[in-house]
């Protein structure tokens, strides 16, 4: 009871845009994330409110070098292996494979890079878990067709999937179609390469782009199962249940609405059709989705095999406009929950919320779950050898693993694995900082891009090693 099931996939998670660097190396094209600067302009760009389609000299772009996983992957994967990882979640940079998104042929150098990374993982018996797109669209497609606002994206994505599923069919079994697909509603440029014209119905643009991604995800699932019936395809939700601020029924209703905003995507990907509440919401907001013939059938017949999600915190909402003391929380605005402590970035810490979230998702879909992100972004103070005494991180992870075990062993939730976020320090997606660190491995680099890129083990490194060795018994 104290352990997790045999074969449980312990590991860690990263994303190409936050760790690879080498942003134009090996014939890679420019990606959306490469034009998102650090600093005050970051949010307006991620929201699609400020168009920045090229890089300039005034801004600093953290993705360009990131932690240079592109040249350090062997060293990094060796460290993951030393911790005993069974699984490594990473993403592909679309523009490394199709530099312009619409190229006739894929870029062999890009494909080869991922071959090498997968081979390195497999050498140590580490199973790759691959996110096909993690906040990443080739910039050429943004400029040429407005990225996911265009239906053509479905074809380009399909082509990408055909190429990668075929190429890696004997190396990768677990795939996620879109990272945090619901992020499209909150950070549309990062989630879907969207920017907006003044005065347009932004909700309509976002939901149309969402429809394109949902169809693309279902088509990917279809192609994947045809190429290799053993493939397991998952969706990916930025999760965290929304609590009601009081027991006033209005607050409870509001919290249900908030959760539905996020579940909407997974309802389609897992159940195979648009839920009625969404259809009614579209009517109220003058949104009429443009669907092509056959879309409904594609969605219906190609649902995901498992549900993956990120969990950093629960959320809190109120129907009362006067209650407005909002705090940050993984980009989703939320009220401050007086029962919870928060990280240095204001993200509230709620391990029991993970158990609650796991149960809600499992009750709703009855499919295996996979926690593909969880962790604490914190300031680390290394000694002269790069060693960090990160008891705060161990504490956060220990409590979350306990909650996860309770969901599995006491509530019967099916869980495939756990890959904490940023297993090696990397660039923060929301702020572009290096200072907000999640890793078991420290990387010597600061917010301005200075540092030797040297890797060193933190205290949590050995802690997590023991957790994996004991299959979760020793925390």
Contact footprint for ligand BG6 (CB under 6 A): 15, 18, 179-180, 238, 310, 330, 373, 377, 421, 428-431, 436
Residues 6 or more apart from 221 whose CB is under 8 A from it? 177, 233, 302, 303, 304, 305
Nearer to ligand BG6, 239 or 340 (CB): 239
**Catalytic, out of 65, 120, 373, 433:** 373
Closest CA to 19 of 87, 90, 81: 90
> Which residue has 């699609």 as its token pair?
48
Question: CB of 120: closest distance to ligand BG6 in angstroms?
Answer: 22
Closest CA to 211 of 160, 156, 302, 149: 149
Whole-angstrom Cα distance, residue 248 to residue 114? 52
Question: CB of 345: closest distance to ligand BG6 in angstroms?
Answer: 7
Question: CB of 343: closest distance to ligand BG6 in angstroms?
Answer: 9
Cβ neighbours of 255 (radius 10 Å): 20
Strand-strand pairing, 441-443 and 455-457: antiparallel
Question: CB of 223: closest distance to ligand BG6 in angstroms?
Answer: 24
Question: CB of 286: closest distance to ligand BG6 in angstroms?
Answer: 30
Whole-angstrom Cα distance, residue 63 to residue 34? 6
Q: Which residue's beta carbon is nearest to the bound ligand BG6?
A: 430
Is 373 an annotated catalytic residue? yes
CA dihedral 345, 348, 349, 355 (to 10 degrees): -140
Say whether 299 sits in a helix, a strand or coil: helix
Nearer to ligand BG6, 180 or 390 (CB): 180
Nearer to ligand BG6, 63 or 140 (CB): 63
Half-sphere exposure for 102 (CA within 13 Å, toward CB) = 12
Nearer to ligand BG6, 162 or 261 (CB): 261
Residues 6 or more apart from 104 whose CB is under 8 A from it? none
Nearer to ligand BG6, 259 or 373 (CB): 373
> Which residues are tagged catalytic?
373
């Amino acid at each position: 009871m104290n352990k997790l099931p045999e074969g449980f996939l312990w590991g860690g998670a990263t994303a190409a845009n936050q760790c690879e660097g080498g942003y134009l190396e090996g014939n890679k094209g420019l990606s959306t994330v490469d034009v998102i600067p650090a600093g005050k302009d970051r949010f307006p760009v991620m929201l699609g409110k400020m168009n920045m389609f090229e890089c300039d000299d005034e801004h600093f772009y953290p993705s360009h070098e990131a932690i240079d996983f592109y040249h350090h992957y062997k060293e990094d994967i060796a460290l993951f292996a030393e911790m005993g990882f069974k699984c490594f979640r990473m993403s592909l940079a679309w523009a490394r494979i199709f530099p312009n998104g619409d190229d006739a042929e894929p870029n062999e150098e890009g494909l080869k890079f991922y071959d090498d990374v997968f081979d390195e993982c497999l050498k140590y018996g580490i199973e790759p878990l691959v996110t096909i797109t993690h906040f990443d669209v080739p910039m050429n497609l943004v400029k040429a067709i407005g990225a996911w606002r265009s239906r053509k994206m479905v074809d380009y994505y399909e082509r990408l999937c055909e190429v990668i599923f075929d190429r890696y069919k004997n190396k990768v079994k677990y795939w996620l179609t879109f990272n945090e697909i619901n992020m499209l509603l909150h950070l549309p440029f990062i989630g879907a390469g969207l920017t907006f014209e003044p005065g347009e119905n932004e909700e309509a643009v976002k939901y149309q782009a969402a429809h394109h991604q949902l169809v693309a995800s279902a088509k990917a699932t279809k192609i994947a199962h045809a190429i290799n019936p053993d493939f397991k395809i998952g969706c990916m939700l930025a999760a965290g249940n929304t609590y009601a601020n009081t027991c006033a029924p209005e607050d409870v209703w509001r919290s249900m609405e908030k959760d539905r905003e996020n579940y909407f995507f997974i309802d389609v990907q897992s159940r195979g059709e648009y839920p009625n509440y969404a259809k009614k919401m579209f009517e109220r907001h003058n949104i009429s989705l443009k669907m092509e013939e056959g879309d409904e059938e594609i969605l219906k017949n190609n649902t995901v095999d498992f549900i993956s999600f990120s969990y950093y915190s629960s959320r809190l909402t109120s129907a009362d406009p006067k209650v407005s003391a909002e705090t940050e929380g993984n980009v989703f605005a939320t009220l401050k929950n007086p029962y919870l402590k928060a990280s240095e970035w204001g993200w509230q810490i709620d391990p029991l919320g993970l158990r609650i979230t796991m149960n809600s998702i499992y009750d709703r879909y009855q499919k295996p779950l996979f926690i593909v992100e969880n962790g604490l972004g914190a300031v680390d103070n290394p000694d002269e050898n790069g060693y960090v005494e990160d008891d705060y991180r161990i504490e956060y992870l220990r409590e979350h693993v306990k909650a996860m075990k309770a969901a599995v062993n006491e509530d019967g939730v099916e869980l495939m694995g756990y890959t904490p976020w940023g297993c090696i320090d990397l660039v923060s997606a929301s702020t572009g900082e290096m200072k907000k660190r999640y890793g078991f491995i420290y990387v010597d680099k600061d917010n301005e891009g200075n540092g030797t890129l040297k890797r060193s083990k933190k205290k949590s490194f050995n802690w997590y090693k023991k957790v994996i060795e004991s299959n979760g018994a020793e925390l």
